[in-house]
Each structure stands twice: as structure tokens, then as C-alpha cells.
A and B are shown apart, each in its own frame.
Chain A
Amino acid sequence: MDFTFSPEHIALRRMIHEFCEEELRPRARQVDRESRQDPQVLRWMGELGFFGLPFSQEDGGAGAGETGYCILMEELNRVCPSTATIIGAHTGIASMSLYLDGSPDLKQRYLPDLCSGKKIAAFGLTEPNAGSDAAGIQLRATLEGDSYYLDGQKMWITNGPIADVIMVLAVTDPALGARGGATVFVVEKEWDGLRPGKPEHKMGLHGSPTSLITFDEVRVPKENVLGQVGLGFVTFMKTLDIGRVSLGAATLGGAQAALEASLRWVKARSQFGRPIANMQSIQFMLADMATEIEALRSLVYRTAWLVDSGKPFIKEAGMCKLMGSETASRCIDRALQIHGALGYSRDFPLERGWRDARIAEIFEGTNEIQRIVIASELLQEIGVRIRP
């Protein structure tokens, strides 16, 4: 058993870490305040291969695998969760669905530009009436001649306002519904009838724009069907399975940032005539944080290793997302407690971290859904089938 990272992953982390500290940290506060990441910074990250990190080099990616991608998400989310979320939606789920199930032709047409960040992608699953019940989607795609016409709405779409390409799950056969009757389409922003809404006013992740997208008779050529007609739901569920690993990695970065901030603070802050690092109440919080973070790190990178080695990983991926999001929320909350009133101040980065972290318990499958996923995988191992 060997828990060391490979030399390329160590080097990759060093490069990404340096980029995050030098280029993203000084801007992170502004990104939150202005609800916008500088497009030039995104382009820069594209040139460095951040947008296609896990994908093979033949497809235009960097070939760093799931482990490399988890390192990226951990480091990004440690410094600027808004930026991490832009890449998470773009790479981890939107481009990932194309990478997993797209035809060679479709990949060739879209993946190089997505990997280089020239085009930004969004993942269109959630609808006003289909959140946790993803199978309840209603956006309709009707075949006429050699084109489909898309009608309906997608909601809470990360990157919605800035996306050039959107992967959309639509119902092609209402009789079958999502299971067997839904198909993924690659839709371009400029196409007639596609209208992104205004960015939502969210609690956190202000720099990662989220919006409604309305489809009004949007014509999509047949060639832009991603994967097989009728099997789109499978493609999207498979994509979300793998996305949970890197989302877990992102939450690890958030939790780590909280611990680092706390360790700096307990040394600098004195009460009762000595640094608060001497108080056992503080020490216990630090110990709990560090222990949970270490457990999460092991889970995340072991699961990334499962993905890279082609082994089954669905149960562990759900655990990454579930444990990660709750660990991050808990650690950031403890860090805020350690910082006292200053932690509550908007002049300190913890307040932003606290707001940014909460969504991880909700998006990409609520933690309740994760528990169902994990339980169904567990029960399947003893021959009990609970997932419809």
C-alpha cells in the first residue's frame, strides 16, 4: 500500500497552488463583492489547461486524470470557491458528459475549445419542477425532419449566464419519460430561442453566475445528440456519479482553508493574557477539524484512485460528496467560532467561506439523495434493489 502522489501530481499541485495563491487569492474578495470573475483570468486558466485537466490529451485535455482534477478542485476551492464552481460545472459535469458518452465527431467539434477554456459549458438538468426528482424533467424535444426542437426551462444552471455551450437533458419520448425517453443535446448559446435569465441572487458563490435558461423552439441538429437517443438520463446520472468525487475534493479545500485560517488566528489572538491556542476548548476544535479533514482527504483521493484505475466507485463518490460538504460546513463553522466576532465580519474571509460552503450540501444531488445513493449501492451488494 502506497499513499504517495505520483511525481506529476505533486508537480501539478505545486503549480496550481502557486497560481491560486498568486493570482486568485488577491482577487477572491473582489470576485465575491462584484459577483463576477474577470474573463481574462478564466482565459488564463484555460491556457494553463485547467478547463480540461482530467481529460485525455487526444481530446484536448491535460491528461491529469481524476486525481489531477481533484487536486485542482481542492486547491481552487481553498482560495476562491466561486472560481472553483465555474470550473466544476464546466469540467466536472458539463464537459464530462461529452467526454464520457459523446461520439468521436461531437467530441472533436466541441471538446478542444472546452478544454482550452475558449468556450464555457453548462450542465442543464434541473428544472423548476425537477430538482431531487431529476427524472421528473419536462423540457421537451420534438423531432421534425433532421432537427429537434427544444421547448421548456432549465433552472439553477451554474454558468448559465456565461455559457457558450449547454448540455441539455430533454424528453424525446414522453411515454417513456426520463428513463428511456430522455436525450442529451449539445446546444449553443447563439441559437435562436435560447435565452439565459438574469443571475440569481444567491447566499454565496457570488462570482459563479447561476440562472434560469429558457428554450423557445430552439432548433438543434440531430448531429448534436450526445450519446444515444433515449439514454440521456443514464449519461447524466453517470456524469453526476463521477462529479461527486471532485466536488468532495473541492469541499476538502474549503475545510482545509478554514483550518489554516484558524491555526494562524489562535497563535495571533490573545485572551486572558495568552494566545488562545493555549485554551483546551480551542485545541479540541482544532483537533476535531484536522481529524475530519484527514479522513476526508483519504476518502477523496482513494476514490479518485478508484476512478483512475477503472474500478467501481459510485458508493464512494456519494460518500465523498456527503462527507465532504458536511465536513466543510462544520469546519468553517468551527473556524468562525474560533475567530469570534471577527469571523462574522465581512472584512474577514471566513464570512465568505461560510456562505460559499453551504451550497455543497444542496447542489449536484442533495445530501439526502447522496444517502439514498450510498444505501442503494450498499443494499445492492446484498441483493436488495431500492432505486427505481
Chain B
Amino acid sequence: MNILVFLRPILDPAGFIVNRKAQKVFVNRENYILNPTDKNALEAALRLSDTVTAVSIGDAPAEDALRQARAIGASRAMLVRDAALKSADASVMTTVLQRLVPHLDGADLMLLGAEVVDADLAQLGPRLAMALGWPFIEGAQEIFVRGHGVHAITRPRASVRRPAPAPPFADRKKARGPEDPALAPRTRGGWSAGARQTDGFHQIEADLPAVISVARDSNKPRYSPGARLVNVYQANDVVEILTAADLGLSEADLAPLTERHGESFPPERELGKVAEGSLDEIAGRVMDVIRKR
């Protein structure tokens, strides 16, 4: 079974120092770490298969993330590196990955972390599933593969999203309701996937190939053995590199839809006040505050 795992390097959160007074954030732009939830995705993949390909988009930090993945156990690593991808947003990344999958002769499963520490958008999974026309399961705690289907255990909040023709998030609210037909007897085949609740978890079933985002702390990622790590970092050929042109992507494909305009700080929270007096007086003061709001 071929599994692709998408990895995102992020700036080390320990390197952020916030100065509220000056309204500035000092960022150490030298230290990157592997997005923690992506490590869970890689671990889930390695537990399912021996043929795991790690993929990433970006330059040096992305290449390092892929080297780490090779050291941890991925059998192949594929980097899409292109100057034009410098300001890639989720829509561009979706396009790149959508092209990359057939370039790698397809895959049975695409895993990625359910959340990204930096922007916390969590939109790449559903977008990619839509683009590929594969089912998507969000926030898997555990994944089993049986025959041509995949089962995932998720928390109840997770939902199965159907790709086209329905608009991306139209059935989101519905899927959570107990009277939702998806929670009734499971339907299979085609694009649909069903869910049923077991002891506070959903067991969701989908046809392969599928995109699954893996929940944080759903497993314990393994460490890379020292010797493997040394070899991976000394070798030149452990990460294969593709350009946008290799994937047949045009300049228009790589134009981001979003732009970053800067940072702003939420207002500082005011500290609470201590109310004094008799019980009735205190209750009265609390009521006054509530009424004013």
C-alpha cells in the first residue's frame, strides 16, 4: 500500500517573543521544526505500510523536514521546490499536491496532520480531497485498512465531507446532528462514506484512495535511530526534487489567492475586580456588571 504523507516545516514556536508594549513580535527565523501533528501522520503511515513517501513544498526547511522523515523511516521523500512557490497559500499547495499525486503514479492514502501550529488553518486536507475527488476524514485517532476501504476512529466532532457536487462545507452542520442520515446504517460505494458513533468516538469508513488528517497526540511518534539519521544527513540522494515545471504547473497555477497584510494584537484582557461586602451586596454588584454587558 502506497501512502503519501504531507509534511510542513514551521518556525519553532520557542523562537517567538511577543512584546505587547511595542506591538512587535520577534521571530527567530533560523529554527524550524516539523509540524507536530504531521509527525503523528507520519507515524500513522509507518504503522500501516512499508512504502511511505513523505512529500513537502518549500526550500531548505522543507528539505530538512523530508530528511527527518527519511531518518524516522519514510522510504521515499519528494520535495517540490520552486522560487515561484515562495508565497504559496493553501490553494496553491492544493494545486501542487493535486498534480504531484498522479506524478507519483497515484497513492492509496494521503495523510497529513489535522492542525498546523503556525496558521492553524486545517484547510489543506479537505481542499485536497475535493481537488482529487477522494473522500476526506478529519482528525483520525486510529486508521485501519480493510480491503479497498479504510476505517478511521475519530472524535464525534469530526465529519465526513462529500466531494462534488455538493459545495465544500454545506453539509457540515448536518453531519453533526443525530438525525443525520450519515449516522444511520452505513452507506458505501461511490463518494459517500458513513459514520456511526461508538462510545464517544466515530468509526468512519471510506473508499480508497482517501485523504485523512491525523489528530494531534493520536499516537507516539518514533524517534529516528542514530545511525540512520547520520546516513540520511550525509547522503545527497535521499530527497528527490521536483520543480513546478516538472509538474506542468503554469504561473497562473501558482498565484496565491490570499495575501498577508501584517499582524495585529488582540486587546489585552482586563483583570477582574474583587467585589466586597455582604452576600447580597456582592450579588448586586455582579448583577450590575452583567447588565452593563
Contacts and interface: CB of A to CB of B under 8 A. Distances in A.
B230 A48 contact: no
Contact of B223 (A19, A57, A62): A19
A349 interface: no
What band does the interface of chain B fall in when counting residues whose beta carbon is under 8 Å from A? 10 to 19
Contacts of A64: 226, 230
B151 interface: no
Interface centre among B68, B223, B224 (most CB of A within 10 A): B223
Contacts of A7: 64, 67, 233
| A interface SS class | helix
Contacts of B267: none
A53 B230 CA distance: 10
A180 interface: no
B278 interface: no
Contact of B233 (A8, A48, A61): A8
B223 A68 contact: no
Interface string B206-233: 0000000000000000011111011111
A12 B71 CA distance: 10
Given A8-B229, A11-B229, A12-B229, A48 B234 contact: no
Contacts of B233: 6-8, 11-12
A192 interface: no
Contact of A47 (B33, B67, B71, B225): B225
Chain A, interface size category, equals 20 to 34
Interface string A43-75: 000011110010001000111100010000000
A7 B70 CA distance: 14
A190 B33 CA distance: 46
A49 B226 contact: yes
Contacts of A53: 226
Contacts of B71: 11, 15
A12 B223 contact: no
Interface in B48-99: 64, 67-68, 71
B234 A8 contact: yes
Give the interface centre of B67, B225, B230, B234 by most chain A CB atoms within 10 Å: B230
A72 to B, nearest CB: 8
Interface string B227-265: 101111110000000000000000000000000000000
A68 B227 CA distance: 11
Nearest to A49: B226
A18 interface: yes
A48 B224 CA distance: 7
Contacts of B67: 7, 11
A125 to B, nearest CB: 28
A62 B226 contact: yes
Contacts of A68: 226, 230
A48 B68 contact: no
Nearest to B67: A11
A118 to B, nearest CB: 14
Nearest to B233: A8
Contacts of A18: 223
Chain A CB within 10 Å, residue with most, of B224, B225, B229, B231: B229
Contacts of A19: 223
A90 to B, nearest CB: 15
A63 B230 contact: yes
A61 B223 contact: no
A73 B229 CA distance: 17
A281 to B, nearest CB: 25
A47 B232 CA distance: 17
B68 A62 contact: no
Nearest to A62: B226
A41 to B, nearest CB: 13
A11 B31 CA distance: 12
Interface in B5-53: 33
A61 B226 CA distance: 9
Given A7-B233, A8-B233, A8-B234, A15 B227 contact: no
Interface string A3-41: 000111001101100110000000000000000000000
Contacts of A8: 229-230, 232-234
A149 B254 CA distance: 77
A53 B228 CA distance: 11
A140 B172 CA distance: 81
A11 to B, nearest CB: 5
A57 B234 CA distance: 13
B223 A63 contact: no
A157 B223 CA distance: 31
Contacts of B223: 15, 18-19, 48
A14 B223 CA distance: 10
A117 to B, nearest CB: 11
7 contacts: A6-B233, A7-B67, A8-B234, A11-B68, A49-B227, A62-B230, A63-B227
Interface of B: 33, 64, 67-68, 71, 223-227, 229-234
List 7 A-B pairs, minimum CB-CB distance, nearest first.
A49-B226, A8-B233, A62-B226, A62-B227, A7-B233, A63-B230, A8-B230
Interface of A: 6-8, 11-12, 14-15, 18-19, 47-50, 53, 57, 61-64, 68
Given A8-B233, A11-B68, A62-B230, 11 more contacts: A7-B67, A8-B229, A8-B230, A11-B232, A11-B233, A12-B226, A12-B229, A19-B223, A48-B223, A57-B231, A63-B230
